[in-house]
Amino acid sequence: MARHEGRVVFVRHALPGERAVVRVTEDRQPGFCRADAVTVLEPSPERVQRPCPHSGPGRCGGCDWQHATPAEQRRLKAAVVREQLARLAGLDVEVVVEELPGGPLRWRTRARFAVDRSGAPGLRRHRSHDLVLLDDCPITVEPAARAVLDRRWPGAGAVDVAVDSVGTVTTTRLDRRGKPQSTRVLRSARPIPGEDAPAEPAGRTARHAAGRDWEVEGTGFWQVHPAAADALVAAVGEHAAVRPGETVLDLYAGAGLFGGALAPAAGADGRVVCVEADPAACAAAEANLAGLPQAEVWQGEVDAEGLTGLLEELGTAPDVVVLDPPRAGAGPAVSRVLAAAGPRAVVYVACDPASLARDVAVFGESGHRLAALRGFDAFPMTSHVECVALLVPA
Ligand SMILES: C[S@@+](CC[C@H](N)C(=O)[O-])C[C@H]1O[C@@H](n2cnc3c(N)ncnc32)[C@H](O)[C@@H]1O
């Protein structure tokens, strides 16, 4: 962030402390404008050559920080989380963003590429609908990049791709409105580096995490970074510290990753309820939790009304709530209902620090304080960060 004649300038492709010539790219608001650093006059010691030839000013908008060392990227992410918690929740928290194994490239096991009118795939420029045609995307795992970028997709608007732990590549063509047109599954002999392959390939796509295998629906939700599921399960388990006989809610459960991993600790007398809106993810969760009689899957929307009904039906207050909402976060209404249910621990997994900070503030007003926070660099080269927060009764 720079200042010019009293106005704020948000500068992409620069690093804190650098002197640079910038080109204004957007000037629509009285208080601020946006710009790209086009010539760096005094580089930061943390500046590096961008590994991806498609990134940089005016080019692919997929990555934000290809020009920074991975250590600097993690420092910047920690600063962002810290600033959001200060600004939105009034908290002063030390934040460390931890590195995941595998390096900063070839970590993306799920991606959506856009397709132009001629059928050529690529990614969009930053804050633009313009497409940058690509022959490679170095943050995407090789089999996924090759499956999409080595061919044309006439008639499609976008393509979703996912690669599982045994190398099965699933592509889903989407029309120009984002509706799925068709899905194709390709088996490959090469597993994803960083994910141990399951002993037996299970189901249509198979992921290995937390010491066991999981079925996932095609290009459906699974943690994108090959090491993220293990790291997040460990952090959630540590924060939740589930005891035998406890009741655990796993909200926004996807294929049941956290609920399935926590169920053994709740034991035969415990209860784990996974709540998920997407029917295909619920079907995968049912399969994944089949061997855990204390775990169940409830299909439904997590909103204030649905949650109130669920808590009534449950008949007992949850001891632990794990929630892993999409970027928009759980929101104030859901956070208030959860806090009022009086769990001894709320473990909030968040991919948007601003949404997390807003909801932490609501939990604070409702009697739950932030007791611990871990950050993970689950999206290297981008400004995105995954956080696992523990809230306990104040
Ligand atoms: C970030 S993913 C988390 C999945 C799972 N915890 C995991 O780590 O694999 C969020 C999930 O929430 C689901 N979801 C989104 N909005 C929802 C809502 N309002 N109610 C219930 N589930 C929702 C999505 O379908 C998705 O599976």
Dist CA 29 CA 9 (whole Å) = 11
Domain 2-47 of CATH type 2.40.50.140: yes
SS3 179: coil
Query: pTM of the full predicted structure?
Result: 0.94
Lowest mean pLDDT across 122-131, 189-198, 218-227? 189-198
Selecting among 60, 63, 274, 351, the annotated active-site residue is 351
Determine how β-strand 2-4 pairs with β-strand 7-12: antiparallel
Cβ of residue 252 lying under 6 Å from some atom of ligand 1:
yes
Distance between terminal CA atoms of the chain?
36
Cβ of residue 223 lying under 6 Å from some atom of ligand 1:
yes
Domain 75-100+228-393 of CATH type 3.30.465.10: no
Extents of the domains making up the chain: 2-47, 75-100+228-393, 110-198
Cβ of residue 281 lying under 6 Å from some atom of ligand 1:
yes
Please tell me the distance between residue 186's alpha carbon and the centre of ligand 1 in angstroms: 26
Decide whether 2-47 matches 75-100+228-393 in CATH topology. Answer: no
351 is catalytic: yes
What is the tens place of the pLDDT at every residue in 336-385?
A: 999 999 999 999 999 999 999 999 999 999 999 999 999 999 999 999 99
Q: Which two tokens stand for residue 221?
A: 């939700």
Contact in structure between 342 and 369 (CB atoms under 8 Å)? no
Ramachandran area for residue 75 (φ above 0: left; ψ -120 to 50: alpha; else beta): alpha
Dist CA 259 CA 1 (whole Å) = 41
Cβ of residue 330 lying under 6 Å from some atom of ligand 1:
no
What is the tens place of the pLDDT at every residue in 154-165?
A: 999 999 999 998
What mean pLDDT do residues 204-232 have?
Answer: 91
Contact in structure between 123 and 62 (CB atoms under 8 Å)? yes
Sign of the torsion formed by the C-alpha atoms of 284, 288, 292 and 294: negative
Q: What percent of the chain has pLDDT over 90?
A: 90
